[in-house]
Amino acid sequence: MTRAGFLILVTVAALLSGCADDRHEERMRAAGPNPTLDALLKVAEVDAGARKFRQCAACHRITEGAPDMGGPNLHGVYGQSMGRTSGRFGYTAALRNAGGRWDASTLDKWLANPAKLVPGTTMQFAGVPDPLDRADIIVYLRSQSGAP
């Protein structure tokens, strides 16, 4: 099996195992029709985000001091400059030069489609299509960064 095939298989398995949030529809209704990111963040849950982060854990750690893997350690990433969080990870020039910070809006766009936000990134991830799933992951990442 190729590396790309393995990554796809791991991602699909992680997506399926992390989708057991039986309050998803309830929370979507609470966010209102055509919810904004701000509305989704208000109903997002850290614990749900931790479960959904499992798909990211194939390549990323989120433990302070843990080594980088296929991707950088994401502990403390929220609020940090893009492409600069880990001094050890070899970010692409596209990500280093993208500018900006990993705030809720940027993370939402990245999680939806990394290659669309930063053309030239080598992150091999198709994205998280569900906006509430992305909001859950964002509040989880924020909780692991000491940000309010």
What is the tens place of the pLDDT at every residue in 17-37?
444 556 999 999 999 999 999
| Residue 74: C-alpha distances to residues 3, 37, 85, 126, 145 (Å) | 22, 21, 8, 18, 9
Range of the domain at 107: 3-143
Q: Could you tell me the CATH number of the domain that includes residue 133?
A: 1.10.760.10
Whether 148 is in a domain gets the answer no
Whether 67 is in a domain gets the answer yes
What is the tens place of the pLDDT at every residue in 63-78?
999 999 999 999 999 9
Whether 9 is in a domain gets the answer yes
Triad 66, 68, 71: Cα angle to 5°: 135
Partnered with residue 81 across adjacent β-strands are 101
Tally of domains in the chain:
1
What is the tens place of the pLDDT at every residue in 79-118?
999 999 888 899 999 999 999 999 999 999 999 999 999 9
The residue that leads in pLDDT, 87 or 129, is 129
Read off the pTM: 0.84
- Phi first, then psi, for residue 34 (nearest 5°) are 45, 60
